[in-house]
Every structure is written in structure tokens, then in C-alpha cells.
Amino acid sequence: MSRKFYRRGSHVLLALIILINGYIIVLPFAPSIWYWWQAKSNTTSDGKPLSVKEASAKAAKEEPEAFHADMSHDGLVIPRMMLDTPLVEGPEKDSFNLLNKGAWRLPFASTPDKGGNTVIAGHRFSYTGPRGIFYYMNQLRAGDEIGLWYKGKLYLYSVASSRTVKATEVSVQQPTDDARLTLYTCTPLWNPTDRLVIVATPKGNM
């Protein structure tokens, strides 16, 4: 091949390398812009997030109670994260597909109606789906409200703690005597070797 081919080819390759590495570095930040933009219209006048009821009413096309009365409409509502996503259930072998459909309740964990430790996992960031459902989980603060529609009933929780653990730390999904909701996702964004874990305690049921 000619010298001209290698010279032109080098230019194309260099452009592709810059493009791909720019994509790798910048894309994890991109959803933050969306959050910053949306947060303005999803907070009260004093800057606090909406309540679960307000957020559900805003997102729903019909009355939230009527919509979620259908058990196929189980969902997770977290106003601070501007999240209203379906709750999906299924075996661990299907987790890859289930996690792309919504927040996945781990099959071996408890359910809100039984008490114990209800564990829900969700994606945070990937290059094929930058704004994972739990992308903004690091925004959650102690006391923030979480709503879980389960079998037509709304269970309200309040964020109690937030911590980062190693991906091998399975204790967060073990059964507990007290009723709690555990949410976890990947962290940090680029190379998620750890897990960000939120534990929330019941506020009282509707």
C-alpha cells in the first residue's frame, strides 16, 4: 500500500481514538446535566424534593392508586432521584434482562408485605445505557422519602443510611429481623468495583 494510504489512515485512526476516549471520559457525566435541568421543576419552592404522592400524581396519567391497583404496575418511586420505575421480579439467571426493564427485586429477599429485608438492585451507568435507573442514587440524603408500590399497596420508607461496600459484600442482602428496604447499585461510575447501598426504614403504610 502507498505512503499516502498510511498517512490518511493515521489521521482517521487518530480521530477515532480521540472520539472513543472522549466518549469513555465524558459520557458518565452526561446524565448529571439532565438531573440539574429536571431538578428545577421537581422540587418544592423551598428546594425540597416532592413527596412520593406528589411525584406519583405528577407522573401518572390516571390516579396513582387506580394505576397501581393492577399488580403488574408495581413500582419504585424516589422523588429525590426523580425516579418512577417499574418493579420487576424474576430469577437470578434472568437478571441481565430484568435489570434493563426496571428495578429488580432480588428473588431470595423479602417483600414489603412480609417485613424483613427487601432488596432491590438497579443499574447506575453503562456505556450502552448512560442514565441507569439508579444513576442519581448518590443524591439521596438521610430522611428522603421512598415509595414502593407492591401488590397494589404503597409502602413508604425513609432513607436511614448510605454507604459504599465492596462488590463481594453479600451481607447487605441477608435477611433481617426488622423491616427495611435495601437498594444497591454500582459505584464508581467508570469502573464499578464497589456497590452503593441505601438502607431505608418504613415510615408507615397506606
Partner 1 sequence: MTDKKRFFILLGLLAASLALLYYLNSNAQNILLG
Strand partners, 196: 164, 185
How buried is residue 128: exposed, middle or buried, by Cβ count under 10 Å (0-12/13-18/19+)?
A: exposed
Interface segment toward partner 1; rule CB under 8 A; list 42-50, 63-71, 88-96, 139-147 = 88-96
Interface segment toward partner 1; rule CB under 8 A; list 14-22, 56-64, 74-82, 143-151 = 14-22
Name the residue nearer to partner 1 (CB basis): 5 or 37.
5
Q: Sketch the per residue contact string, 111 through 150, with partner 1: x for CB under 8 A, - otherwise.
A: ----------xxxxxxxx----------------------
Q: What minimum distance in Å lies between the beta carbon of 81 and partner 1?
A: 17
CA 78, CA 105: separation in Å to the nearest integer? 15
Residue 168 in the binding site for partner 1 (CB under 8 A): yes
The β-bridge relationship of strands 75-78 and 180-187 is unpaired
Q: What minimum distance in Å lies between the beta carbon of 20 and partner 1?
A: 4
Count Cβ atoms below 10 Å from residue 164 Cβ, excluding itself.
Answer: 13
**Opening angle at CA 20, ends 18 and 23, nearest 5:** 105
Cell numbers 429536571 correspond to 38
Residue 10 in the binding site for partner 1 (CB under 8 A): yes
User: CA separation (Å) from 83 to 1, 96, 114?
Assistant: 55, 20, 24
Q: Which three cell numbers stand for residue 136?
A: 442519581
Q: What minimum distance in Å lies between the beta carbon of 198 and partner 1?
A: 14
Residue 190 in the binding site for partner 1 (CB under 8 A): yes
Q: Using the rule CB under 8 A, which residue among 172, 201, 202, 203 binds partner 1?
A: 172
Q: Using the rule CB under 8 A, which residue among 69, 71, 167, 206 binds partner 1?
A: 167
Residue 29 in the binding site for partner 1 (CB under 8 A): no
